[in-house]
Chain A
């Protein structure tokens, strides 16, 4: 099993450009998450999904949109990139959201720079 994969691994954007980050998992997990990680800020939840066709806002959702059309995929979109969105983005999945089933498995990350 590949686990959680993310594409692309690196990307440089200019301010105002748009892009989509793709996350895929082959563990049949119900829950999927998008985080950003910045120095001194830790992991911050952007959006999450509790199942196919559902999405919900996390701690820092502004400037991002998500979609979960298929259970195995979770897409994160930036409509108009800003320098403040320069970060490392991690996707994660978990079987559930209670107790041990909340164990999250992370993808390798996408390093995004917005100039």
Chain B
């Protein structure tokens, strides 16, 4: 079957660094997405990885290892506004996105 696993909840402190992991098992691979979703709002696009390695975008970075079926989202210099759910999604070969259940991140002062 096709499956995406993420931790359900994480807690971190303002100003710290947090890493949110995502592992996947899919029929083929055509890219991995990270989305952010604040409570009561819609998901918004954060990053896309298709090649192995680290993609940096400001305070957020996303890493991919295709051979290990593994990705992580790294959030630096955490701010209170980073409290949200982070969704990992994978595109199998030319098929519809498969979504993880999301990781709820709470940033404490």
Contact = CB atoms under 8 A, between A and B. Distances in A.
B30 A98 contact: yes
B75 interface: no
**Main SS of chain B's interface residues?**
loop
Question: Which of B44, B87, B91, B96 lies at the interface centre, i.e. has the most chain A CB atoms within 10 A of its CB?
Answer: B96
Interface of A: 40-43, 45, 48, 58, 90, 97-100, 102-109
B50 A99 contact: yes
Given A97-B96, A107-B42, A43 B33 contact: no
Interface size class of B (residues with CB under 8 A): 10 to 19
A54 to B, nearest CB: 14
Contact of A105 (B30, B45, B50, B99): B45
A108 B91 contact: no
B96 A48 contact: yes
